[in-house]
């Protein structure tokens, strides 16, 4: 009998954001303003309505139904206990009461796994998982929850929101001067939105969570044409940004502007950025491209992959990038791989971050941190590279490295500093580890380094000074080094 029910189809009414309130229907949208105050009333049950068909014919009769809640469409984890009830579809339509508790419903995407055993059947038939999506009234309730600090909240959803397109919602926002006086939030429900998005100044773009709200686009011929193009004083959080391009450039986020002392930096928080470019002869796959701008990255993960093009996690020119729990991983089959690239008097600040760069066919083409006349301030940072861990070049009187409580591990040189102009390195309480290169290679009479309470591998040979480079202070855990008095 199981085969008879293979073509059963069930369509549920999506109410994910309303479930936590234990309410299905409301008489008027304005009532949603009051639902949040009822969220802790103790009533976590909700009514679920669906339609059951067999071979396209609505089912009428009695069935046993089994409902399980999951946090993913495939695999994932079950949330709450399995609910079993007897349903009596009439012309396919049925209603049942379910209660998974309030904990699973935090605004994240959820899927309901449903199985039935109808009259005349000998076994359960699994109908698969159906998404519990945001219904219109639920989105009104969400808007009420998020109004604090914003002049208005606009919702984007596949159904039931103010808009179905992110860019359409942004285009409808007020002009720059109005937005900066009265900031607005564009909230995007779970789903994949295939579009290229350009933000307006002073706005916030927020998704339902990393991996739940996804914005994706393809590559282009211009490096400034990214999936997401930010403007000044903008905030982006709780979403995933993808660019899977077969073009000259595949760029996830582009930040091009002129920083002003009155403007705070652009903020990305709880964001995943994934880019890939497998076109032969393409130029680059870039996670974040920053020019003349300032970015703060909190709990951001960047992944970049290319075939024969350059793979770059974050690149900044004349800009500032601050990473707090930033994760960058770049991989290139044949091209150059750079975790963070900072030329032209840029500033990079990292805290509790991880930077990994690998080039598979030629490991020497990978550099985790590539700095030219740029300054790096890093604490509790892990750096791993199949080539050079950190390469600092001083060409025009710039450049400085302040590395503390960090580990740099590489197949080639762990730290390589060179140039004809001034570069200062201050390395404290860190570990430099190299398989086949130098733990510390200094090249140039304007290169100065202090090493205090630092661990090096390989004995005395793991430090090389060339062309007048200066080691002004040496205090190393390892044996075999002649100490130089540290101030």
Write out pLDDT tens, residues 194-237.
999 999 999 999 998 888 899 999 988 888 899 999 988 899 99
Q: Which residues contact 396 (CB under 8 A, 6 or more apart)?
A: 345, 373, 421
Q: Which residues contact 41 (CB under 8 A, 6 or more apart)?
A: 22
Across all residues in the chain, what is the average pLDDT? Answer: 82
pTM for this one?
0.76
Of the ranges 168-172, 190-194, 308-312, which is most confident?
A: 168-172
Listed residue (204, 330, 325, 318) closest to 255, CA to CA: 318
CATH architecture of 146-386: 3 Solenoid (2.160)
Of the ranges 93-97, 276-280, 394-398, which is most confident?
A: 276-280
Place of tokens 């909240």: 153
Q: Where are the domains of the chain?
A: 2-134, 146-386
What digits encode the pLDDT tens for the residues 291-302?
Answer: 888 999 999 999
Contact 412, 384 (CB under 8 A): no
Question: Under DSSP, is residue 302 helix (H, G, I), strand (E, B) or coil?
Answer: strand
Radius of gyration, CA atoms only, the chain: 28
The pLDDT-based confidence of 324 (bands split at 50, 70, 90) is very high
Q: How many CA atoms lie within 13 A of 163 on its CB side?
A: 17
Looking at residues 41-66, what average pLDDT do you find? 77
Higher pLDDT, 13 or 47: 47
Looking at residues 48-58, what average pLDDT do you find? 79
Strands 78-87 and 63-70: antiparallel
Place of tokens 């990214």: 226
Question: Under DSSP, is residue 244 helix (H, G, I), strand (E, B) or coil?
Answer: strand
Domains 2-134 and 146-386 share a fold: no
The pLDDT-based confidence of 258 (bands split at 50, 70, 90) is low
> 307 φ, ψ to 5°?
-90, -85
Place of tokens 């012309």: 91
Looking at residues 255-265, what average pLDDT do you find? 69
The pLDDT-based confidence of 280 (bands split at 50, 70, 90) is confident
Among 92-101, 241-250, 430-439, name the one with the lowest average pLDDT.
92-101
> 460 φ, ψ to 5°?
-65, -25
Task: Specify whether domain 2-134 bears CATH 2.50.20.
Answer: no
Contact 124, 132 (CB under 8 A): no
Beta bridge partners of 58: 53
How far apart (Å, rounded) are the C-alpha atoms in residues 113 and 45?
17
Question: Under DSSP, is residue 141 helix (H, G, I), strand (E, B) or coil?
Answer: helix
Q: What is the predicted pLDDT for the residue at 264?
A: 79
Among 42-56, 57-71, 154-168, 293-307, name the one with the lowest average pLDDT.
42-56
Residue 29: is its pLDDT beyond 80? no
Question: Under DSSP, is residue 407 helix (H, G, I), strand (E, B) or coil?
Answer: strand
Q: Which residues contact 425 (CB under 8 A, 6 or more apart)?
A: 392, 400, 401, 403, 415, 417, 442, 447, 448, 449, 450
Place of tokens 């729990």: 325
Q: What is the predicted pLDDT for the residue at 48?
A: 76
Q: Give me the percent of the chain exceeding a pLDDT of 90.
A: 43
Contact 23, 46 (CB under 8 A): yes
Q: What is the predicted pLDDT for the residue at 58?
A: 84
């Amino acid at each position: 009998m199981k085969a008879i029910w293979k073509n059963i189809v069930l369509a549920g009414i999506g109410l994910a954001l309303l479930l936590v309130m234990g309410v299905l229907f409301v008489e008027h949208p304005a009532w949603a303003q009051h639902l949040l105050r009822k969220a802790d009333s103790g009533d976590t049950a909700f009514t679920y309505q669906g339609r059951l068909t067999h071979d396209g014919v609505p089912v009428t009769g009695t069935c046993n139904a089994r409902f399980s809640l999951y946090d993913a469409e495939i695999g994932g984890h079950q949330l709450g206990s399995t609910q079993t009830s007897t349903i009596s579809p009439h012309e396919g339509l049925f209603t049942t009461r379910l209660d998974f508790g309030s904990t699973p419903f935090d605004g994240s995407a959820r899927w309901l796994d449903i199985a039935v055993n109808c009259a005349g059947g000998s076994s359960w038939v699994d109908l698969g998982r159906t998404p519990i999506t945001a219904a219109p009234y639920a989105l009104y309730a969400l808007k009420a929850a998020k109004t604090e600090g914003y002049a208005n909240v606009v919702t984007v959803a596949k159904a039931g929101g103010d808009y179905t397109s992110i860019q359409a919602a942004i285009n409808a926002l007020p002009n720059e001067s109005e937005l900066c006086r009265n900031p607005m939030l564009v909230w995007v429900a779970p789903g994949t939105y295939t579009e290229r998005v350009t933000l307006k100044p002073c706005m916030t773009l927020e998704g339902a969570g990393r991996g739940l709200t996804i914005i994706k686009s393809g590559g282009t011929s211009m490096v400034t044409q990214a999936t997401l193009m930010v403007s000044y004083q903008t905030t982006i959080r709780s979403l995933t940004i993808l660019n899977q391009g077969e073009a000259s450039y595949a760029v996830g986020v582009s930040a091009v502007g002129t920083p002003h002392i009155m403007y705070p930096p652009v903020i990305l928080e709880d964001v995943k950025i994934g880019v890939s470019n497998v076109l032969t002869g393409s130029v680059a796959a870039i996670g974040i491209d920053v020019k003349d701008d300032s970015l703060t990255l909190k709990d951001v993960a960047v992944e970049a992959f290319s075939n024969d093009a350059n793979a770059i996690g974050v690149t900044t020119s004349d800009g500032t990038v601050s990473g707090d729990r930033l994760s960058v991983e770049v991989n290139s089959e044949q091209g150059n791989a750079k975790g963070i690239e900072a030329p032209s008097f840029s500033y990079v600040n990292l805290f509790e971050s991880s930077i990994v760069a690998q080039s598979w066919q030629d490991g020497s083409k990978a550099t985790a941190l590539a700095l030219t006349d740029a300054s790096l301030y890093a604490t509790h940072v892990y750096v791993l590279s199949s080539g050079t861990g950190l390469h600092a070049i001083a060409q025009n009187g710039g450049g400085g490295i302040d590395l503390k409580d960090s580990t740099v591990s590489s197949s080639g040189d762990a730290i390589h500093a060179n140039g004809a102009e001034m570069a200062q390195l201050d390395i404290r309480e860190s570990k430099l580890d190299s398989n086949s290169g130098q733990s510390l290679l200094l090249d140039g009479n304007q290169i100065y380094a202090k090493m205090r309470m630092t661990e090096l591998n390989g004995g005395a040979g793991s430090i090389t000074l060339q062309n007048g480079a200066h080691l002004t202070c040496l205090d190393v855990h390892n044996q075999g080094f002649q100490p130089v008095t540290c101030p």
